[in-house]
Structure formats: C-alpha cells, structure tokens
Amino acid sequence: MATEIRVPTLGESVSEATIGKWFKKPGDAVKADEPLVELETDKVTLEVNAPAAGVLGEIVAKEGDTVGVSALLGMISAGGAGAAPAAKAEEKKADTAIAQASGKAGETTTAAAEAKSGAVAGDSEIKPATKAGDSGPAVSRLAAESGVDPSTVNASGKDGRVTKGDMLAAIATGPAVASAAPATPVQVRAPSPVDDASREERVKMTKLRQTIARRLKEAQSNAAMLTTFNEVDMTNVMALRNQYKDVFEKKHGVKLGFMGFFVKACVQALKEIPAVNAEIDGTDIIYKNYYHIGVAVGTEKGLVVPVVRDADQLSIAGVEKKIGEFGKKARDGALKIEEMQGGTFTISNGGVYGSLMSTPILNAPQSAILGMHKIQERPVVVAGKIEIRPMMYLAVSYDHRIIDGKEAVTFLVRIKEGLEDPARLVLDL
C-alpha cells in the first residue's frame, strides 16, 4: 500500500510554493514524521514531513517546480519496493493536471467543440453570465476549483450562458477581459559577450526573495519616502549593559542586548508621535493604539520580519526573550506566517553587518522604519571638550504623506533621549 505526499495548507493568502530541496532520494527508507522536502513560499520556508514510514518512491514534483496546495509531491511505499508506486504517481500527476485544466490537447478540443456547438445552435451574440450558478453545476465546479469568475468569460451558450467548454478555454488561456489589461513591461537583459556567458551562473529567485523584491519596489513607488538622521551616544546604555548583563542572564535566561532598549525607546516615541504608528488606507488614516514592533532578521534565504506583539506591555527582559526566540526560529526556518504579520513599526539593524549609515525602505503598509547602525568610536564635543565616545547613527525613513518633517525629527530625538538616558525608559518618561 502506497501513501501520498501532498502539499499542506500553506497559510493565509498563500496558495503556491516552490520545491526547495528534497532531503531523500527515491528508494531511501523514511520514518514517520521525518522531514522529506523543503517548500519555499513568498512568506516563509517550511518542511513537509513523511505521513508514514516506508520507502520513498517516485518524486513527482522536482526541485524548482511550483506547486499548489494539496498538489502531489511523491509517494511512500510500504516495504522495500521503492519504484512500485511510479505508475500510480504518474497517474495521479496526470489526473491533477487534468483537474486543473492546464490546457492539454483533449481539453482544448472539447472547449472548441462546445463553443462551436453553441454557435451552431443560433447564438449570434456573445454575452457574459452574471453568476456561476446561471450556467450549471459543471461551470460552478470549474469556477470554484480554478478561481476564474464566469462573468469574465466570453459565453457561447444559449441565452448568454457560459458552457463548460468556455470555462476550460478561459482557464487554459485566461479570461478574455484580462487580455484587455495593459501588460506590465518586462526588462529584457542584453546578452552577455561570448567570453563572459560561459562564466555566468543563472539561478532562479526563491519565492521569498521575489516577494521581498516586489514589496520593496512597491514601497518606493507608492510612498512619498524621506529619511531623517541623528546620532546617539551609546555610553550610558553600554555602561548599564556591562554592569548588569551577568545577573540579567542568570535571572532571565537570555543575554542582555541593545534591542530591548531600542524597542522600549521606540514604543515611548510612538506614543508621543502617533502618526508614526499609523497607516494610510485610501483616504483614511488608521491610528493604532497598540504597538507591534517588527524586528528585521537576515537569513541565508532573505530578510524576515517577525513581530514582537504588544511591546508596550513587555519589559526589556520580555522583549529580549521574544527576539531571541524569533532569531532561533529564523535560523531554523521555523517562523510561522502569523508571527510575521500585523506589525505597526519596524526596526532594522544593519549595524550587525558593519553598516555605518543607510536609508532603510518602508515595510508597507507601515509608515516608518528605524535603521540602527554600527557603534563606532568617534571624537565628539562634550561640554566644550573633545572626547572619544561610542556613537551610533540612527535613520528613520518615513512616508511624508502621513508624517511631516517635524514629527519625524521629534520622533527620532525622543529615541535619542531615551537611549542616552536609559533611566527614562525604566521610569516611562
């Protein structure tokens, strides 16, 4: 008896994934719940575990393939016959392709035949159906499975009804209405010289990286983005951290870093300048009386932004614990989609990579983002004297449509004041 390996539910608003890596080869023995394959979505990377113990048969979905929810990935056979389910897997693959109306010759022929039949019956005018139910159960079923709205399909049936053939043709080629939309221009790369082409390597972008690229470009295009800068003297924060880091770790089980201080400083500044914690929705501004702080974490596969929810209700220790948990999950590829949704403000720390200055891009639909940078000892003037101090540049990129310059500068100054005098964070001043 063979067991199917299928794509699990991927999460809210995620309908497809890319096969990242198979951990087993056909013929390898597998244990129940053992990771078999890695799936990459536009939001998170997840593993599919073996539904049963046995031997991995044929792999239906290869690395790099795009698959939908419930799609067949492979088969697990009981015992040692690893190749036994090959025929069945192929049959399942064919059935899946047919069910999705992928434009096979037989389906195209059926669509053409039914369309022709409708024309012969006397339909001289092609009309759209307003409801899936107007055209019978077959059309309704195809509409539910494919997501194609029958009202957007050219109808060839009697009284302007959509036939099964019309739906199959629309699923294969796309609705006629959609073809009228202007096509998005595609940048065509100029061919490389012959001597260089042989030394190039072309690798397909992961779903996550594609999504990051698209959203960053959308943020630049949609927002009136500006950036303001300031610097903070980290002397007092560093002294406080050095004084209490050992006892802090002993009591709370987590190291005392700088992010806890920055999150608390941001929360206090957001309370004073609520526009920074708001977002634009059409012609409305939504002011959020809660503080979900996104913390950008770099991984090998791209940037992820887990969210520390209700950061205003957490102590510095609580913030550090949450960030530590997210960091481990990010490295293990175990972050859940819901843990990266709903942020109201984002903190990005380019300083861990050595960045001295940057202009971070908004994490839409948020209206602002804080960029932290490298702590660098520099000569500064203090009380008329030149002293060497550990300084950090801070940058706030903001949407000028909702946040004016005064608010952005004041927000950044409040963060500076909280960090240079950490007692303000403890006393909530």
Segment 59-107, tens digit of pLDDT: 888 887 888 888 888 888 876 543 444 444 444 544 554 445 444 444 4
Q: Domain boundary at 134, 163, 179, which?
A: 179
Which pLDDT belongs to residue 132? 44
Last residue of a domain, which of 126, 156, 179? 179
224 and 265 assigned to the same domain = yes
Per the rule left: phi > 0, alpha: psi between -120 and 50, beta: everything else, 253 is left
Pair (230, 161) in one structural domain: no
**What is the per-residue pLDDT for 410?**
96
| Residues 269 and 388 occupy one common structural domain | yes
Direct distance between the N- and C-terminal alpha carbons of the chain, in angstroms, rounded to an integer:
68
CB 398 within 8 A of CB 406: no
Same domain, 411 and 357: yes
* Same-domain status, 117 and 52: no
Shared domain for 277 and 234, answered yes or no, is yes
Residue 416 is encoded by which pair of tokens?
Answer: 């500076």
Computed from CA positions of residues 117, 121, 124, 126, in that sequence, does the dihedral angle turn out positive or negative? Answer: negative
Q: Are residues 47 and 154 in the same domain?
A: no
> 92-101, 135-144, 159-168, 326-335: which range is least confident on average?
92-101
More confident residue, 125 or 338: 338
Distance CA 223, CA 403 (A): 11
Question: Average of pLDDT values for 416-424?
Answer: 90
Asked whether residue 174 falls in the same domain as residue 236, the answer is no
**Residue-level pLDDT at 47:** 80
Whether the pLDDT of residue 286 is over 60: the answer is yes
**CB of 134 closer than 8 Å to CB of 155:** no
Residue 206 in any domain: the answer is no
HEC assignment per residue over the chain = CEEEEECCCCCCCCCEEEEEEECCCCCCEECCCCEEEEEECCCCEEEEECCCCEEEEEECCCCCCEEECCCEEEEEECCCCCCCCHHHHHHHHHHHHHHCCCCCHHHHHHHHHHHHHHHHCCCCCCCCCCCHHHHCHHHHHHHHHHCCCHHHCCCCCHHHCCCHHHHHHHHHHCCHHHHCCCCCCCCCCCCCCHHHHCCCCCCCCCHHHHHHHHHHHHHHHHCCEEEEEEEEECHHHHHHHHHHHHHHHHHHCCCCCCHHHHHHHHHHHHHHCHHHHCEEECCEEECCCCCCEEECEEECCEEECCEECCHHHCCHHHHHHHHHHHHHHHHHCCCCHHHHCCCCEEEEEHHHHCCCCCCCCCCCCCCEEEEECCCEEEEEEECCEEEEEEEEEEEEEEECCCCCHHHHHHHHHHHHHHHHCCHHHHHCC
Is residue 190 in a domain? no
Residue 191 lies in a domain: no
Q: Residue 351 maps to which CATH number?
A: 3.30.559.10
- Could you tell me if 259 and 318 lie in one domain? yes
Q: Is there a domain that residue 136 lies in?
A: yes
Tokens of 217: 């470009």
What is the model's pLDDT at position 44? 67
In a domain, 205, yes or no: no
Query: Is-above-0.95 flag for pTM?
Result: no
How does residue 283 score in pLDDT terms, banded at 50, 70 and 90? Answer: confident
- For Cα atoms 245, 321, 212, give the angle at the middle one, nearest 5 degrees: 120
**Position 204 in a domain:** no
331 domain residue, yes or no:
yes
Which of 127-141, 348-362, 373-387, 412-426 has the lowest average pLDDT?
127-141
What letter represents residue 122's amino acid? Answer: G
Q: Which residues are catalytic?
A: 400, 404
pLDDT in tens, 19-71: 878 888 888 888 888 888 888 776 667 788 888 888 888 888 888 788 888 88
CATH of the domain at 76: 2.40.50.100
Range of the domain at 39: 2-99
* pLDDT recorded at residue 219: 79
Structure tokens belonging to residue 369: 């983002």
Res 310 pLDDT > 50: yes
Residues 384 and 287 in one domain: yes
Omega of the bond leading into 35 within 30 degrees of 0 (cis): no
Domain boundary among 39, 74, 99: 99
Same domain (yes/no): 316, 330: yes
Note the pLDDT tens digit of each residue in 50-64: 888 888 888 888 887
Residue 132 lies in a domain: yes
| Phi, psi of 44, deg, nearest 5 | -160, 160
| Alpha-carbon gap, residue 368 to 293, rounded angstroms | 11
Nearest one of 174, 148, 180, 162 to 115, comparing CA atoms: 162
Shared domain for 343 and 242, answered yes or no, is yes
Number of domains in the chain: 3
pLDDT given for residue 124 in this prediction: 40
